[in-house]
Structure 1
Amino acid sequence: MTTARIKLRMNFLPFAVLALILLFCSCTQHTTFIRQGDGITVEIKDPAPGSAKWVRLQAVSPKIIRVTASNDNKFTAGKSLMIDSTFHVAAEWSAEQTDKEALVKTSELVASVSFTTGEVIFKDKNGNIILQEKTGGGKKITPVIIDDKPLYRISQQFESPAGEAFYGLGQPQTGQINYKDEDVDLTQYNSIVAVPFLLSNRNYGLLWDNYSITHFGDNREKQQLSALQLTGKGGTSEGLTATYSDRTDSTHIYMQRQEDKIDYSFLPSLKNIPAGFPMEKGKVTWEGFITADTTGEHKFYLSASGYLKFWLDGKLLLDKWREGWNPGPSQFRYMLSKGQKHAIKVEWIPESTQAFASLQWLSPTPPALHNKMTLSSEAAENIDYYFICGANADEVIGGYRQLTGKATLLPQWALGFWQSRERYKTEQEIENVVAEFRKRKIGLDNIVLDWSYWKEDAWGSQQFDRARFPDAAGMIGRLHERYNTRFMISVWPKFYEGIENYKIFDKQNWLYKQNIKDQQRDWIGKGYISTFYDAFNPTARMGFWKLLDSSLFIKGVDAWWLDATEPDILSNATIEKRKQLMQPTASGSSTQYFNGYPLQNAKGIYEGQRSSRPNQRVFILTRSAYAGMQRYAAATWSGDIAARFDEMERQIPAGINFSLSGLPYWTNDIGGFFVEDKYDKPHPNGNALEEWRELNTRWYQFGAFCPLFRSHGQYPYREIFNIAPDDHPAYKSMLYYNQLRYRLMPYIYSVAGNTCHNNYTMMRGLIMDFGTDANVKNIGDQYMFGPSFLVNPVYTYKATFRPVYLPAGQGWYNLYTGEYTTGGQHITAVASYERMPVFVKEGSIIPFGPQIEFTGEKPADDITLYVYTGKDGSFTLYEDEGVNYNYEKGKYSNIPITYNEANKTLTIGKREGDFKDMLKNRLFRIVWVTKSKSTALDFSSPSDTAIAYNGNEQTVTMNGKF
């Protein structure tokens, strides 16, 4: 075999040259490929039906390769929304070919494409396979016509060896952490965030550049239960026995009938509810048997609101509640035997006239999908993805941010505590709450004003109702000056028909009009007709910002809460109806761009504020997100979740996987958003009250160790002084964690600085730091908060212990007692009512600042360093001006701090950098924590030693008594 070798370096050929030279291999097959400025395009010799005819490999960086596959060589995909427009290709590369394949090589990677199948394989520089597409290419490209435009349904399948684990993909909220052999729908929905970035424990990532509804895993269409053999509860009649009865008296039956599906999925399906059945007072029970024609693990997909229980063979697999208008997904695998009847029972208590329940099914995963990984999208111009490799997960996420934009540094105050409520109804109510925080000396940085601060019939006016907010600008000014508190406000992309702003946007053709044509009314008062603006339109985005700027920003608003950004124009509409309601977008069909709305909406606010006030840090909180959001100063919260312990449990893997999707700032409603009747009518008392207090306490403990720390929800009120009196353990615990959060501000802000400057991740799945420990692969209820804290939330009512795995390779110190435990073992950790188990990794250096009530109260001129000995350690204390963008101009400082275990010395290194009003001198107090001396976390105790620091390197040695 002869090999033709062609080498090309980017700096010798202009990037604009796309296809000028055909190179012919001297081998007998005379295979060709086209050389471009950043890669090669290969025409596939004999592509399989429905596969790609052309494959392009582009060297993006030494560790990133872009793969595009098409039915022609035009690669006509429009401008990417997720890729940062300021990103520049920066890779030296070479091209080679053999008689079987063409290769692109960088200093770190080799990517090859088969001339006969189009199969792409990625190898490291030593020739080891990192990832390969399915043998034969694994590509499917099926022509479709969508809104008169020729597009494709696409899928790409990869080989996935046993033992691989997958993370990321946004925020599915099904309770899963590892997606290996699982199925994930990437469809934007209230509390479901779709981010098409996948992270493997094999230290690579895939960024899938597509904006349509996407699926990970088994992409067969889900089926109704009618695809199985169904018999009623008597075991003879066809279908399941559906009993529509009274909620409290099962003998009071409104109707009983045989049904072959459970499908009250969306608004139109509710018309199938039997006439006369009172959903708000009723209960539906489906009972009978299912029989499959194959043996194996069958898949069940549930979505429900209200109360839903699900049994198979008498085993209770789900017992969950959600508010009627926001159903949540769950999924299970269950072993069914061919030809055998398996008992099934589903019990649903809707609670309201608008509640939803559905149960779908798939047969066992086909053998062809075993040890495979598949991404599929319903609309595309090409298959287009980026392969990113690294030495660890941080490097892979760094590659993701290289492509999609660095995470901006949030204003420092955003890392403090926020208080919110659904909702503060007057400006006096807001000021009274903030005043109570200050009176009680509870830390607070941000007060949030939720929706309906406008007149009832003026949604989209961006104007305060003067009857309830007579002096909004004055109120915000007092919050700033009297209470040192920031003010965030909820702004929706929604406009009521006929208001002045609607007319302005309508005249410019900036609005989606289908909901107006439908005359669909919302749920406010008598109901009003509304629609959303088209955030894909750049002039509409600019127009939307101008409304906010002239009406709200001018009054002193500090930050933006962007609600319903999926976009949720009509809750619980079918997916097809949702597409109609946002059709067309300025970028193209809503089918093609369905998932991209939240990215474009945030882009408009970020760019708008930076143009209006270039040196005030933007801060955005948005209910939905997409790849690239981090470059727009946007954080995301987990939507309108339920106030239950089982819902809290699901928040932990949701936040971890969101962070593993490359988006560093995540939060959830402490205490859950909406509540069961026992908490709400008229108010909790007795056992319900104590459960309510414990739920909020446990959630508050968890929230204190999330990237953003915020409380929000419906009645009962969520301020800690409204949850419990100050002598109650709930109040004491929440106050403790509030104060601990503020003590940790030097640590937290330094981690935020590292996130911005070095692509770090604050909320860290254990796979990031302990990837060689096989035990962590499937742990979804523990995580690292920065480099030091192992966080173990308690999500079981009345629990006083919880199981904890301490990762191997290092020892762990109990944060509160200083007690040392060897890693690599499962333990039962004490979890008293007032404390959540938190452990500190051996070799950690943690800076604690002074006790403060808001982040800007005073500089951290007195820092206590807790040094957890046993291993070498390091920490860099990062500081800047906290509220502006001078850090982008290099105005910040780093103080490197290192501990050497061999000689027991701590070195506080020379300060690097400076900025306005930087502290020139400070005191570092040192507390040594050792295996032999359990040192409790106690800020009232004297330190072991102290260093007066003036910016120059200083070293201190631990004395012999330790």
Structure 2
Amino acid sequence: MKNILSSLIIMCFCLSGHAQNFQKTSHGIKTVANGNTVEIQFYSPSIVRVIKFPVGKSSYSKESLSVVLNPSQTTFTAKEDNKFILLKSDKLNITINASSGDITFGSASGKPLLKEKPEGTKFVPFNDAGVNTYNVYQSFSLDKEEPIYGLGQHPRADLNQRNQKYHLEQGNTDDAVTFFQSVKGYGLYWDNYSPTEFTDDTNETSFKSEVGDAVDYYFMYGGNADGVIANMRELTGNAPMFPLWTYGFWQSRERYKSQNEIVNVVKKYRELGVPLDGIIQDWQYWGNNYLWNAMDFLNPEFSDPKRMIEDIHGLNAHMIISIWSSFGPETKQYKEMNKKGMLFNIRTWPESGIETWPPNLDYPSGVRVYDPYNPEARDIYWKYANASLFARGIDGWWMDSTEPDHFGAKQEDYDTQTYLGSFRKVRNAFPLMTVGGVYDHQRKTTSDKRVFILTRSAFAGQQRYGANTWSGDTGSSWETLRNQIPAGLNFTLSGIPNWNSDIGGFFAGAYNTGNGGTGSKNPLFQELYVRWIQFGTFNAMMRSHGTDVPREIYQFGKKGEPIYDAIDKFINLRYALLPYIYSTSWEVTNKQSSFMRALFMDFANDKKVWNINNQYMFGKSILVAPIVQAQYTPETIVKVNEETGWDKQDSKGNDAKTTVDFTSEKTNKVYLPEGTVWYDYWTNEKFNGGQEITRKTAIDMIPLYIKAGAIIPLGPQVQYATEKKWDNLEIKVYPGADGTFTLYEDEFDNYNYEKGAYTEIEFLWSDASQKLTIANRKGSYKGMLLNRKFTIILSSGQKKAVNYDGKKTVVKF
């Protein structure tokens, strides 16, 4: 009897073991299906990693360049049910077909989210510069009418990325981020750095990368766009605070040719009384192309850099400076890195040592790109940037060509060996590594000055490195301006909040002929520039820059003239909004929010906004409707890219003579999302949402609407961001719904906020009782305001002033 019982126990155990088609691991499960090892790892209840690789490989491991989150001890269940493996956490339901290995994702409440396609995983053997690996491919099935967003920044008109194909590889005006999110509230990050094809059509949504030892991606569920972005930043790093001065107005040009010229620009702004916080020095302060990116003032026109920087600081402005990802053969950096095999042999900018066009290739520049994947190379890079620039008082970095520039790319170029393998294998992570190198080193050098980097390219995770990405060397055209809005929104929806474009477009040579004026006196360019600066007022960075046509405000005329006054008005509006913008930046850092917000982020239930590509929210209260069609002049489409632009092959401008009256009234249509009441910012006129309206416009205004319940602080009139304390703010309240706003303040330019040195003052509007409560001040920091005045203004014009000493105050209307 004992033997029979023992046999039955053994048989039951064997049957049980045979039925279990998976192995439970510390963070998930592992199984084998359809010839592939499939592993699911919970990084949190709402984030999972999916790994697949052919059974012939014994194991797979990778230290991600983007992901900084470690898998947490997440409570989950795993069981089998009718040939399916079912995993469940507090946020996700995951189903794996035990036969095919296909995975289906749903929310814990049962909402279907995303499915892999049957037989949608493919591996094709590939020899990567002598290393046996694979082309890797994974396809998914989306709902037919399901919009998706993200994939980085691309100069296209579409906001919704359905029915799109992209070759995801870093370029001058393309920032490849292998991430998308859905209006259903999930996101997917494809953790691969090689050139990747993204395809969405009626058959599939897929990623196909040139190099990969495994399919390796992260699925996350946030419930809405903000939740997905929060997941993506939890996974790849949160965005630190920028200094307050970075949110003021920035003037730049390709390029200021002497230290006297750049200092005099700042002086002129101060003389005119036009606010300015930053000036930028572009290339060639180092001299000739053989000294490319020497990171030192070797040009005789910059003979006293110490005095130049002191003069700019003495005018209460900040200066950032151009540094590149490549070095000329006569630089110290080149010589030190070359000895250690840290330079690539790919065609890059500039190609000739002589500054002529076209490049005289009889005298090649010898400029070579460095290897930022190598930690020692990053050390060398910082050593010189610090000694010659940062130690002299430079306030931040303009890291140009962080793609890097790669002309006439050949397959053998991708065989180039980096510290982490072939260039092909890690190509798209180049900006992440080079920007991260500067951030990490400056943080180690000092905590007294926040890192600020302006850069031309980005990859997943770059938000953690104190970098603002601009959209590259764009053409100066209305078509380009229109495309900047969806480009910036999709970049933001990829989890990276800091973005801007060259105000006016970069290549503006087409406006130097015809129509009664050249450059900034040409009405064709004047109208485009004004509309672009109005759009730029509502970007994370407001920066005027370009070539061929100088953009300083005084180039466009003088006070009392419509173009000058329109530019001046919006620069001053930017400064009035600084308390709102800086508080929004705290929301970005502390609560994973976004500056530029596609309308679906706040109004997902209104399907009409799902693909609106010419309006957005700036912060959570202000609806911005930039005017992106010419209204006063004939619209000239100038089609140009970075290569034809530098070749000076700009399209010709419209030479037709046109009488332009910039004082006349025009109109523009605006859609107001449903679910709230809206107020016209300029008139306080009230509108119900869910309708399109026609708004009268002028050259010095664009439609701006404020959401009911919004509370917006307005700062004093200033010449630079920190000129006056915020001790007498106007607090504008827009009734019609309950609302809340938190005013954030700190020391404005150090990392003490990370140690808790900041204050928050919460404003709460009760619509039923028409009462504004100013809560007790939270926190403290050195030099904070102990007493202040707030002037509360309702949209109706009612106004009450209160003194506030940090204790709860109630204002009743």
TM over 0.5: yes
Offset of 1:137 from its aligned partner?
A: 4.5
Residues 1:540 and 2:540 aligned together = no
8 Å Cα contact 2:27/2:73 also seen in 1: no
Q: Once the two structures are superposed, what CA deviation does each residue of 1:614-637 show, in whole Å capped at 9, x if it has no partner?
A: 331101111000000010001100
Partners of 2:413 and 2:705 lie apart in 1 by: 46
Offset of 1:31 from its aligned partner?
A: 3.8
Matches within 5 A, 1:904-919: 904-919=770-785
Residues 1:484 and 2:339 aligned together = no
Offset of 1:790 from its aligned partner?
A: 0.6
The counterpart of 1:660, out of the listed 484, 487, 493, is 493
Partners of 1:634 and 1:558 lie apart in 2 by: 13
Please name the residue that 1:150 is paired with.
132
Please name the residue that 2:721 is paired with.
855
Q: Is the partner of 2:176 in helix, strand or coil?
A: strand
The counterpart of 1:451, out of the listed 283, 287, 301, is 283
Residues 1:785 and 2:622 aligned together = no
The counterpart of 1:521, out of the listed 349, 352, 371, is 352
The counterpart of 2:569, out of the listed 727, 736, 739, is 736
Partners of 2:785 and 2:520 lie apart in 1 by: 51
Residues 599/120 of structure 1: CA separation in 2 closer, same or farther (3 Å cut) = same
Please name the residue that 2:146 is paired with.
164
Residues 60/683 of structure 1: CA separation in 2 closer, same or farther (3 Å cut) = farther
Please name the residue that 2:430 is paired with.
597
Residues 683/445 of structure 1: CA separation in 2 closer, same or farther (3 Å cut) = farther
Whichever residue aligns with residue 624 of structure 2, its letter is: V
Partners of 2:469 and 2:733 lie apart in 1 by: 33
Q: Is the partner of 2:418 in helix, strand or coil?
A: coil
8 Å Cα contact 2:180/2:494 also seen in 1: yes
Residues 522/838 of structure 1: CA separation in 2 closer, same or farther (3 Å cut) = farther
Residues 88/68 of structure 1: CA separation in 2 closer, same or farther (3 Å cut) = closer
Residues 88/911 of structure 1: CA separation in 2 closer, same or farther (3 Å cut) = farther
Offset of 1:82 from its aligned partner?
A: 0.5
Partners of 1:90 and 1:852 lie apart in 2 by: 51
Residues 142/924 of structure 1: CA separation in 2 closer, same or farther (3 Å cut) = same
Q: Is the partner of 2:469 in helix, strand or coil?
A: strand
Partners of 2:76 and 2:771 lie apart in 1 by: 45
Give the superposed CA RMSD: 2.1
Partners of 1:818 and 1:452 lie apart in 2 by: 49
8 Å Cα contact 1:75/1:381 also seen in 2: no
Offset of 1:858 from its aligned partner?
A: 1.8
Matches within 5 A, 1:214-613: 214-218=196-200, 369-370=202-203, 372-456=204-288, 457-480=290-313, 482-514=314-346, 521=352, 524-525=355-356, 527-570=364-407, 573-574=408-409, 576=411, 579=414, 583-613=416-446
Offset of 1:30 from its aligned partner?
A: 2.4
Offset of 1:569 from its aligned partner?
A: 4.0
Please name the residue that 2:647 is paired with.
none
Q: Is the partner of 1:468 in helix, strand or coil?
A: helix
Partners of 2:31 and 2:352 lie apart in 1 by: 53
Q: Once the two structures are superposed, what CA deviation does each residue of 1:45-101 show, in whole Å capped at 9, x if it has no partner?
A: xx1xxxx611110111111111111113644242110012x6452522232223412
Aligned identity (percent) is: 38
Please name the residue that 2:483 is paired with.
650
8 Å Cα contact 1:606/1:633 also seen in 2: yes
8 Å Cα contact 1:29/1:99 also seen in 2: no
8 Å Cα contact 1:684/1:692 also seen in 2: no
Partners of 1:430 and 1:681 lie apart in 2 by: 29
Partners of 1:96 and 1:852 lie apart in 2 by: 64
Q: Which moved more, 1:94-103 or 1:541-550?
A: 94-103
8 Å Cα contact 2:343/2:371 also seen in 1: yes
Q: Which moved more, 1:500-509 or 1:873-882?
A: 500-509
8 Å Cα contact 1:896/1:911 also seen in 2: yes
Please name the residue that 1:200 is paired with.
182
8 Å Cα contact 2:456/2:470 also seen in 1: yes
Q: Which moved more, 1:783-792 or 1:451-460?
A: 451-460
8 Å Cα contact 1:649/1:795 also seen in 2: yes
Please name the residue that 1:864 is paired with.
730
Q: Is the partner of 2:431 in helix, strand or coil?
A: helix
Partners of 1:62 and 1:575 lie apart in 2 by: 44
Q: Which moved more, 1:507-516 or 1:842-851?
A: 507-516
The counterpart of 1:35, out of the listed 24, 32, 38, is 24
8 Å Cα contact 1:905/1:955 also seen in 2: yes
Please name the residue that 1:119 is paired with.
102
Partners of 1:563 and 1:471 lie apart in 2 by: 24
8 Å Cα contact 1:68/1:75 also seen in 2: no
Residues 849/578 of structure 1: CA separation in 2 closer, same or farther (3 Å cut) = farther
Partners of 2:627 and 2:310 lie apart in 1 by: 39
Matches within 5 A, 1:918-933: 918-929=784-795, 933=796
Offset of 1:707 from its aligned partner?
A: 1.0
Partners of 2:103 and 2:262 lie apart in 1 by: 58
8 Å Cα contact 2:96/2:102 also seen in 1: yes
Partners of 1:683 and 1:426 lie apart in 2 by: 31
Please name the residue that 2:809 is paired with.
954
Please name the residue that 2:159 is paired with.
177
Q: Once the two structures are superposed, what CA deviation does each residue of 1:889-948 show, in whole Å capped at 9, x if it has no partner?
A: 11111111111111111111111111111111111101111xxx4x5xxxxxxx710111
Structure richer in helix, relative to its length: 2
Residues 703/577 of structure 1: CA separation in 2 closer, same or farther (3 Å cut) = farther
Q: Which moved more, 1:790-799 or 1:641-650?
A: 790-799
Residues 111/601 of structure 1: CA separation in 2 closer, same or farther (3 Å cut) = same
Q: Once the two structures are superposed, what CA deviation does each residue of 1:192-241 show, in whole Å capped at 9, x if it has no partner?
A: 110111010000000110001112215xxxxxxxxxxxxxxxxxxxxxxx
Offset of 1:868 from its aligned partner?
A: 0.5
The counterpart of 2:46, out of the listed 54, 57, 63, is 63
Please name the residue that 1:310 is paired with.
none
TM-score normalised to structure 2 length: 0.91
Offset of 1:797 from its aligned partner?
A: 1.3
Partners of 1:575 and 1:822 lie apart in 2 by: 57
8 Å Cα contact 2:309/2:394 also seen in 1: yes
Whichever residue aligns with residue 233 of structure 2, its letter is: R
Residues 1:702 and 2:535 aligned together = yes
Offset of 1:166 from its aligned partner?
A: 0.6
Partners of 1:772 and 1:621 lie apart in 2 by: 35
Please name the residue that 1:96 is paired with.
79
Matches within 5 A, 1:683-694: 684-685=517-518, 689-694=522-527
8 Å Cα contact 2:515/2:523 also seen in 1: no
Please name the residue that 1:81 is paired with.
65
Offset of 1:508 from its aligned partner?
A: 1.7
8 Å Cα contact 1:842/1:869 also seen in 2: yes
8 Å Cα contact 2:47/2:218 also seen in 1: yes
Partners of 1:687 and 1:545 lie apart in 2 by: 38
8 Å Cα contact 2:520/2:549 also seen in 1: no
8 Å Cα contact 1:643/1:674 also seen in 2: yes
Please name the residue that 1:213 is paired with.
195
Q: Once the two structures are superposed, what CA deviation does each residue of 1:344-380 show, in whole Å capped at 9, x if it has no partner?
A: xxxxxxxxxxxxxxxxxxxxx5xxx43x321221111
8 Å Cα contact 1:618/1:633 also seen in 2: yes
Partners of 1:683 and 1:566 lie apart in 2 by: 39
Size of the aligned set, in residue pairs, is: 761
Q: Once the two structures are superposed, what CA deviation does each residue of 1:310-355 show, in whole Å capped at 9, x if it has no partner?
A: xxxxxxxxxxxxxxxxxxxxxxxxxxxxxxxxxxxxxxxxxxxxxx
Residues 681/469 of structure 1: CA separation in 2 closer, same or farther (3 Å cut) = farther
Partners of 2:600 and 2:350 lie apart in 1 by: 50
Whichever residue aligns with residue 550 of structure 1, its letter is: A
Offset of 1:690 from its aligned partner?
A: 1.0
The runs of 5 or more residues in structure 2 that have no matched partner are 1-11, 633-665
Q: Is the partner of 2:778 in helix, strand or coil?
A: coil
TM-score normalised to structure 1 length: 0.77
Please name the residue that 1:819 is paired with.
685
Partners of 1:114 and 1:610 lie apart in 2 by: 47
The runs of 5 or more residues in structure 1 that have no matched partner are 1-22, 219-364, 936-942
Partners of 2:809 and 2:258 lie apart in 1 by: 54
Whichever residue aligns with residue 524 of structure 1, its letter is: E
